[in-house]
Amino acid sequence: MSASIELVIFDCDGVLVDSERIAVRVDRVILEQAGLRLSEEEIIERFVGRSDQVFIAAIEEHIGEPLPDGWLNRFDAAYRDALASELTPVDGIVDALRAIPYASCVASSGSHEKMRFTLGLTGLYHFFEGRIFSATEVRKGKPAPDLFLHAARAMGVDPAACVVVEDSRYGVQAARAAGMRAFGFTGGLTPAAMLQGANTVLFDDMRDLPQLLAVAASVKPVSAPTVL
């Protein structure tokens, strides 16, 4: 795996926008309405970083029948209202984006509509306009590598020259499966232990990311994670 960096691929929720705490709270209400009672810790472990399809599949398995088409859409207003009143950029991300000298893009399990809303609401959309990729564009979402490989192809960069900034277990697994180095952000909801793995740097302050990338560009990745 090359030490050079040509592209930084950012997840969106929990990495760019501080949405995971809000989403988990709303998810818990929705799951309870479907008769599936899970703690916030269980929701984080099972669903953070994954697509709506995984969320719906879990409910269908619990109730033993398919949900009607568009069932989750009736909760869109609850998500949007909560995000509109509470959402902020992840602390330090604006400073990091301004300091990072590499090309960048977003690759998220969320839909394009959701990312336009959250990135626009937080003033981050202009950093990535025209370079935003959604799991809706690929066959398999995280932890499969499809989304990150799709983003690399679209950006014209070899996967070995890409690094991924993620905050979820499934996200760092997808990065490793794609042959990319992972930077696991531990300042969110996912415990650091869930992010550890090969070719993975863990960090808890987004302001540290530019320097960590500079170091990674000059040192070949190792098999064990670096933990800050």
CATH number at residue 180: 3.40.50.1000
When pLDDT is cut at 50, 70 and 90, the band that residue 1 belongs to is low
Neighbours of 120 (CB within 10 A): 12
Q: Is residue 46 part of a domain?
A: yes
82 and 145 together in one domain: no
Residue 198 amino acid letter = A
Report pLDDT for 3.
67
Whole-model pTM: value is 0.84
Q: What are phi and psi of 221, to 5 degrees?
A: -65, 150
Q: Is residue 207 part of a domain?
A: yes
Signed CA dihedral, 119, 122, 124, 126: sign only: positive
43 and 126 together in one domain: no
| pLDDT mean over 59-78 | 81
25 and 128 together in one domain: no
Catalytic residue among 11, 13, 27, 146: 11
105 and 74 together in one domain: no
CATH number at residue 34: 1.10.150
Lowest mean pLDDT among 53-57, 121-125, 165-169, 175-179: 53-57
91 and 67 together in one domain: no
Report the alpha-carbon distance of residue 159 to residue 180 in Å, rounded.
6
Residue 226 has pLDDT above 60, yes or no: no
92 and 193 together in one domain: yes
Mean pLDDT of the chain: 90
Which of these three, 86, 113, 128, is where a domain ends?
86
Which of these three, 41, 64, 86, is where a domain ends?
86
Number of domains in the chain: 2
Report pLDDT for 224.
44
Q: In what order do the strands lie in the sheet with 132-134?
A: 132-134, 103-108, 7-10, 162-166, 181-185, 200-203, 226-227
Range of the domain at 76: 20-86
Write out pLDDT tens, residues 113-167.
999 999 999 999 999 999 999 999 999 999 999 999 999 999 999 999 999 999 9
Residue 79 has pLDDT above 80, yes or no: yes
Q: Known catalytic residue: 18?
A: no
Q: Is residue 2 part of a domain?
A: no
